[in-house]
Amino acid sequence: MLPFRHGTTRDRARSTRATSGTLLLAGLAVAIGATAVFFPFTTLGALVLICAGVAFWVQPKRTLLVFGLFLLAQDLLVTVSSDTSVAISLKHADEIGIALMFLLTLARGWRGRLTKVLLLVVGLIAAGMLSSLAYGINSTSALILDMFLMTKGFLLSLIAAQLDWNVADVRAISRWFGLAGILILLSGLADHLVPAWRVATGLGAPSEHRLGLLAAAGVFTTPGAFGELFSFLFLFAAGLFTTLRSRRSLVLLLLFGIGVVASLRLRLLVTVPVAMALASLIFLRRRGRWFPFFLSAVIGLALLTTPLFEGLLGVKAPELQGGARVALTRTSIDIAGDHFPLGSGFGTFGGYASRLYYSTVYADYGLSDVYGLSETTGSFISDTHWPYVLGETGLVGFLFYSGSLFVLFLTVYRGASTFTDPWMCGFAYGTMMGLILAVLEGFLAPIFQATLNSYFTLFAAGVVAGAYAAHPGLSGRNIRGATFAGREATRAGIRRAR
């Protein structure tokens, strides 16, 4: 097996250029965002789209990295914005950005990667459209908005898969988000030490307490988003520590674990160890992959014996209670049965669009009187994901959706099984654990409806798919035992071996 050498001059130069380009694009994004807060957004909005489009066309990978960093600060930017139009534009900038980048990806030329996912997504859209026509369109605006919200994560994975990702890119992604995670963790600490900072920024004073403890939210509006972020960062840190065994990855693992606990979300304290255990069982046959399984067992035993877990279980954390989530789950099954094999259509049930344009489905199935699901108190309408998919697109759409996830999971599994570089292998391993976590969380949270969660799962899967396709030697299809050094380095190594 040919070793990959990290320390080559070419790799260091590439990493330096990537860092410089990322800083330049990040500075441009911050400057434009800051300007948007103080000036009318009509003209500036067009300028932002033009700049984003040019940046993606010239440097797509760096632009996607900056896009991910923007998602981390999106809630804070929205609340800081004093102008309503600016706040609305920033709130939907992620959807607009994904649509723009997908169109530009098609314009750059489709490279045939993850074509099965594309076909399954087209089938999902067709199922949703047929469901809408059969049940009756609730609102055209709701239909279009919801169709994009349901598929935006897959579009993000398709965008990433068409690019040639390498080790330097993965290292840059890991380091930037590791640094961002530390800063956000400090913002969660500031909730306890200087709670006035949230009031000053418009996020609102931290108010959610459990067992007399304050649930950290940091730069996010809710502790749930804070906990979900650190659950994914924790899994990626676990994946990298499994392969790198470095002190830095261990420190990040511990810090991000603190972030998960600080959110005081019982469901995450349960699903994160389960996701680690399931992923580890798949790879127990490979040397060194026992660590996440061992860690998940330790976490599980520790939680079961701590007063924190017993206290959260005793007060029945809201995310595990019945009420709205149970009602949504049961009704989604009823809708799928009543309109078999289709559902009620896009924008009609369980999603943000059905709350924004309140759907008549809730009244038809007696949910309009349930607290959190009524037109006036609809804050719990989009609190689940799988009932949302099943109710709107029926069994057919549910199969298309789950099929797309399965194809992505298989691609990540192949990468995690094949990559010999520790950075790539650890990244793919963390992605696989993140996908498992997202599937589990889909019963209790709108996990894929949040673009940030899709970035850490579906976008990451697209990165693995792009790397896997760009370096076929890794899969054993062309040159057995090739590493992630690329075709030229692989051929040079073979010549030296001869």
Residue 472 — pLDDT band, cuts 50, 70, 90? low
pLDDT at 209: 74
pTM score, two decimals?
0.82
Helix/strand/coil for 336: helix
**Residue extents of the structural domains in the chain:** 1-109, 113-498
Distance, CA of 333 to CA of 311 (rounded, Å) = 33
pLDDT at 286: 53
> Contact at 8 Å (CB) between 154 and 461?
no
Distance, CA of 146 to CA of 345 (rounded, Å) = 9
Helix/strand/coil for 442: coil
Q: Shortest CA distance to 317 belongs to which of 357, 364, 267, 263?
A: 267
Supply the mean pLDDT for the chain.
78
Residue 2 — pLDDT band, cuts 50, 70, 90? very low
Give burial (CB, 10 Å; 0-12/13-18/19+) of 113: buried
pLDDT at 486: 39
Q: Write out the two tokens for 368.
A: 């309009």
Q: Where are the alpha helices (DSSP H) in 109-166?
A: 115-135, 140-161
Q: Where are the alpha helices (DSSP H) in 339-474?
A: 352-356, 361-364, 386-418, 422-441, 451-454, 460-470
Distance, CA of 42 to CA of 54 (rounded, Å) = 19
For residues 136-150, give the mean pLDDT: 81
For residues 157-182, give the mean pLDDT: 94
On the question of pLDDT at 367 being above 80, the answer is yes
pLDDT at 251: 93
Distance, CA of 390 to CA of 397 (rounded, Å) = 7
Distance, CA of 405 to CA of 411 (rounded, Å) = 10
Of 10 and 487, more confident: 10
On the question of pLDDT at 490 being above 70, the answer is no
Phi then psi for residue 142, to 5 deg, are -65, -40
Of 246 and 490, more confident: 246
pLDDT at 260: 92
pLDDT at 481: 34
Residue 71 — pLDDT band, cuts 50, 70, 90? very high
